[in-house]
A = this chain, B = another copy of it.
Amino acid sequence: MTRYLLERPHTLVSLTFFATRYGSAKSSISEDLTILKRTFQERGTGILETVPGAAGGARFIPGISEEEAILFVRKMETALTEENRFLPGGYVYMSDLLGQPDVLRQVGRIIATEYQEGAVDAVMTVATKGVPIAQSVASFLNVPFVIVRHDSQITEGSTVSVNYVSGSSNRIEKMALSKRSLKSGSRVLVVDDYMKAGGTVRGMQSLVKEFDSTVVGISVFAEGADTEDKVIEDYTSLLTVGVENEQVKVAPGNYLEKIFSKK
């Protein structure tokens, strides 16, 4: 039952279904759900919503506790501060972290915690390094994710494309999304691995508009430390990453404050 619920976040599973599946009385299923609810709460796994009545059941809404989120952000800070991550041009090497299943699982849980109310229909990101984050967030929200590309591929069919100004370099760039990948009227959560000035995110915002859809949130794993040239205002970041004298400087982003202060 635990596995079934965990694998189907944000989905109402009826008591009747569980009763049939496990050959038990609804009353014992109901008791088990109460235990599960308490355990989830105690462990900070998320919320188990139970809906009473004949049409009732349970819905698992993944989340993370403030303690666990803080621990994770600290762990990432430590990992990113390792000195061999500095790259020429002031970039920071993060690909290894974002290729680890346990890191991605936590990033997904943390970002999904912001959108527990279920106001997201699709997660959007841009190829390539945002993809694992989008996938993880999408799995916790149980919604599809779509990948915006810089090159348009023959295997995507017809696409909608926009030009955008890359915030940091002031160059005009292009991004495209397969026409059939997003329904109009979707509420879209934009995620990415790294946001410097936010030009790419702004590009995705205008792409979302082209699909008659709305951006309901912007969440990034890391943002650049130079905030004065940011073109995006309302977003959350887990980390702030900067480079000073060829040394990587990492600090927590605005996530912890934004999410847990209002709770």
Contact = CB atoms under 8 A, between A and B. Distances in A.
Interface of A: 2-3, 6-8, 43, 45, 84, 87-89, 91-96, 99-102, 104-105, 127-129, 131-132, 135-136, 138-139, 142-147, 149, 154-157, 178, 180-181, 194
Nearest to A104: B135
B194 A104 contact: no
A165 to B, nearest CB: 19
Contacts of A89: 154
Contacts of A145: 99, 101
A91 B154 contact: yes
Contacts of A3: 2, 6, 43, 45
B147 A128 contact: yes
Chain multiplicity (copies):
2
A155 B87 contact: yes
A155 B105 contact: no
Contact of A101 (B144, B181, B194): B144
B142 A101 contact: yes
Nearest to A85: B157
Contact of A104 (B92, B101, B102, B139): B139
A197 B52 CA distance: 55
Contacts of A45: 3
